[in-house]
Chains A and B, each alone.
Chain A
């Protein structure tokens, strides 16, 4: 199957700092990428839909100024957690859509805010 990478795989930061997570589709172009957040033993919670060249669409309850998403090219989307706080600690997963519907996930980024 197609490969999606995420970087970094884990990050520890101090409260108040910003953290950028990169999501890349390595062997295909993705017009659409999704960003999810996952709490322990729970399902995937969609945060936003990222379309190349346009503004991201955020789900209800997700602060767009807190979670900045940029989809500058067909192979790269970034999520920046601004002014991170301990409650932002979580597992963040991106996915990229190949063609119209096949969604491939990245390996995830574990964020710990101290």
Chain B
């Protein structure tokens, strides 16, 4: 099956700096890679996603890059703000006969220091 690894587990940055979170996956058949932001006591919120036929996607201060050859993808947050503080999860989606199976990373706790 698929194995998703996520680094770092914790990350602290100064407000205004950039934050980068990296994930690797093991199964080259995975073709969809979403990123989720989870605030304390809430459910994960989809913030950006990328499909395997695209190398990069950007949405305002958030961008995701995908390297299919190396099997890794990264989340980039620029001009960080205190409200970006949360736990971020990456995921890889693997097509199956019974439907797509999702595999999650272990999460990165991001703290943006004002």
Which A residues fall within an 8 A CB radius of B?
1, 4, 6, 31-32, 34, 41-44, 46, 49, 51, 57, 93, 97, 100-108, 110
- Measured CA separation A42–B106 after assembly (Å): 7
Q: Which 4 A-B pairs have the closest CB atoms?
A: A105-B43, A108-B43, A107-B43, A105-B44
Please pick, from A43, A102, A108, A110, the residue contacting B46 in the complex, using a CB distance under 8 A: A102
Considering the complex, give the chain B residue whose CB is closest to the CB of A32.
Answer: B99
B41 touches A108 (CB 8 A): yes
Chain A residues with CB under 8 A of B25: none
**Can you offer 13 A-B residue contacts whose CB atoms are under 8 A?**
A4-B43, A31-B99, A41-B109, A42-B107, A43-B105, A44-B44, A46-B102, A49-B99, A93-B43, A93-B44, A102-B49, A103-B46, A108-B41
Give the chain B neighbours of A107 by CB distance below 8 A. Answer: 42-43
B32 to chain A, nearest CB (A): 5
Q: How far is the CA of A81 from the CA of B107 in the complex (A)?
A: 27
Q: Are B99 and A51 within 8 A (Cβ)?
A: yes
B107 interface neighbour in A43, A46, A93, Cβ under 8 Å? A43
Minimum Cβ distance to chain A for residue B70 (Å): 22
Chain B residues, Cβ within 8 Å of A106 = 43
A74 → chain B closest CB, angstroms: 14
Interface: B28 (CB within 8 A): no
Cα separation A44 to B46 with both chains bound (whole Å): 14
Is B105 touching A110 in the complex (CB atoms < 8 A)?
A: no
Name which residue of chain B comes closest to A6, CB basis.
B43
Known: A97-B99, A101-B93. 5 other contacts (CB 8 A): A44-B104, A93-B43, A103-B102, A106-B43, A108-B43
